[in-house]
Structure 1
Amino acid sequence: MNETDNLLGQFLAHIGVERGLAKSTVSAYEADVKKYLGWLSSRGVDDLNTVTAHDVEDYVAALDKAGESARSKARRLASVHAFHKFALMQQVVDDDVSARVKAPKAAGHLPDVLSIDEVSRLLDAAAMGGSSDPVVLRDKALLEFMYATGCRVSEATGADLNDIDFDERVVVLTGKGSKQRLVPLGEYALKALQRYIAEGRPELEAKAKGAKERRAIFLNKRGRRISRQSVWEVVKAAGERAHIDKPLHPHTLRHSFATHLIQGGADVRTVQELLGHASVTTTQIYTHVSPETLIETYLTAHPRAR
């Protein structure tokens, strides 16, 4: 019997005797932990001290790929949490890496996502036929920026001019907990930003009373840093002009960004980094298959579909 098997025996005795859990509950814990340890072993991980939070996240992702329900995944992860917590209590490990991994939420519905055509219509609508009005230039740049980076609305409103490197075509976004990440900027977003900063922003900045706003990229009509509410209004107005009848809010562009990347072949880990998610399990929701893709694949692949 190796050290991990011995620890599992102690864990089961602990929950069965000291915690007084029912035999059926102990058996469920045993099955869950054995499944987890077997999965780790298949990856060449046999020492709990070498397990990382990423390993636990990948295990949850594997359960998702296997088609397990949200309730089943939550139960299995609860068993993993209890086992790692016991290992820490027994001083077998120095850190409970599983504590940083949360069970994926059981989504009642998939996030609102625009098709690529709908995004194009939205961005074209924001341009108002190529108007040179400074507010229109801002709105076009703002929406191109949000779709190009998948940023949160707070990251867009908080973005500063010196966060953009036009030569390297990247932007530094500051997310939750003041964590920063580097995200590429596509050609469309770069051109829209360059035109807005050169032609539109100076006019908006000049409208400020008192000290000028020298840092913020996106300014409101009074020359101050744009607010979250104003971004909502920009998205809503562009959606109405584009005749998009889906629910529209700033996060719709973030959802669409992630979904289109994954549909285009990007791996979940990369999308996780681009979105600034702390856990890959949060990003897993974007791996859903659209009904249209599902039907097309079925008709193409099933031998008796036609």
Structure 2
Amino acid sequence: MPKPSDTAPSDARWISTFLDAQAAEANAARNTLLAYGRDLLDFANWVKGQSSSFASLPRAAVEDYLVSCEAAGLSKATRARRLSAIRQLFRFAHEEGWRADNPALRITGPGASQRLPKTLTHDEVDRLLDAARNKGRSPADRLRNSALMELLYATGLRVSELVGLPVAAARGEPKMILVRGKGGKERMVPLSSAARVALNDWLIARDSAEEARRKAGFAPSKALFPGPGADGHLTRQHFYLLIKDIAVLAGVDPAKVTPHTLRHAFATHLLAGGADLRVIQTLLGHADVATTEIYTHVLDDQLKALVLTHHPLAKPKL
């Protein structure tokens, strides 16, 4: 068995050497190499944020990364693909003698992805929004949690877009907010009246706390939802755990509640209310309307169940 090298290359070099080997030895297709490259670059950036490296990363950290991917709302298929890429990278590193083990070898993948996204009923969403107003150790925490949930359901933002919002986007009691999405693309998303009220209440509490920090000698935060992390805002992982606690408080099965589930509920409820599919595509920031069309299948299933349950001809004859 090869021993790990004391001079293992940098993480970036790991990726480039691995991709070169895949192209030369495994004859991997260009699209496959591009997918590997994107997945491993995201992993490398996360590892860097943990002040670690591929050479020393333990198995638990790989598991933490997969949890962060789920918290970010990535599909099971995407998470399974990323785990596969990570496994192959570490297997290659082991063969090259850069590591003595493969920390991803025995990690169980997320399994096959379901075709249709999970969503929530109007009643479940109402209970979650009510619970958020009462979740938190302090009044400021409760105002923040309410603003997070109201914004998420009112806008359908991705969790990374939500927690990364700059405070400047919320100044002036806006009726719409500017969101920077995937690939740096920007879009305008309208706010509901409830979201605007929750946002305004949170801003008052946030600004008061920031003023106290400023007087204590700390630099002001540019984030709408400040946090102690390296990025200066609430992390996706923190919000993922928070929404689970809110679900328990609301009496909603936490297994079906994630930030991405609220995004699905936003889209499905809009479509059920008669919104145009192209409008929903724009609001969600989907590059292709085909991605948005999946919500029509969710709605079709709901309507089918409604007819089979309530239509008089669907009832069994006595």
Aligned partner of residue 131 in structure 2, secondary structure: helix
Name the structure 1 match of 2:284.
Answer: 275
1:223-250 CA distances to partner (integer Å, 9 max, x unpaired)? 9411111111221111111111142211
Task: Tell me if 1:181 matches 2:187.
Answer: yes
1:170-209 CA distances to partner (integer Å, 9 max, x unpaired)? 0011100000000000011000010010124532664587
Pick from 271, 280, 305 the counterpart of residue 295 of structure 1.
305
Q: Give matches, 1:157-176, under 5 Å.
A: 157-164=163-170, 166-176=172-182
Structure 1: gaps (5+ residues): 1-105
Q: Give matches, 1:144-293, under 5 Å.
A: 144-164=150-170, 166-203=172-209, 206-207=212-213, 211-220=218-227, 224-245=232-253, 246-288=255-297, 289=299, 291-293=301-303
Q: 1:158 to 1:118 in 2, by over 3 A?
A: same
TM-score normalized by the length of structure 1: 0.59
Larger Rg: 1
**Counterpart code for 1:212:** A
Name the structure 1 match of 2:67.
Answer: none
Cα RMSD of the aligned pairs, angstroms, is: 2.9
Using the TM superposition, give the Cα deviation of residue 166 of structure 1 relative to its aligned residue in structure 2, in angstroms: 4.5
Alignment check: 8 A CA contact 1:134 1:204 kept: no
Percent of paired sites with the same residue: 39
Alignment check: 8 A CA contact 1:114 1:252 kept: yes
Aligned partner of residue 124 in structure 1, secondary structure: helix
Q: Write the distance in 1 (CA, Å) between the matches of 2:213 and 2:244.
A: 25
TM-score normalized by the length of structure 2: 0.56
Structure 2: gaps (5+ residues): 1-111
Q: Write the distance in 2 (CA, Å) between the matches of 1:172 and 1:133.
A: 27
Alignment check: 8 A CA contact 1:183 1:274 kept: yes
Q: Write the distance in 1 (CA, Å) between the matches of 2:223 and 2:165.
A: 6
Q: Write the distance in 1 (CA, Å) between the matches of 2:259 and 2:136.
A: 22
Q: Give matches, 1:4-153, under 5 Å.
A: 108-128=114-134, 133-153=139-159
Point out the more displaced range, 291-300 or 119-128.
Answer: 291-300
Aligned partner of residue 173 in structure 1, secondary structure: strand
Paired residues, what number? 201
Alignment check: 8 A CA contact 1:269 1:280 kept: yes
Using the TM superposition, give the Cα deviation of residue 293 of structure 1 relative to its aligned residue in structure 2, in angstroms: 2.9
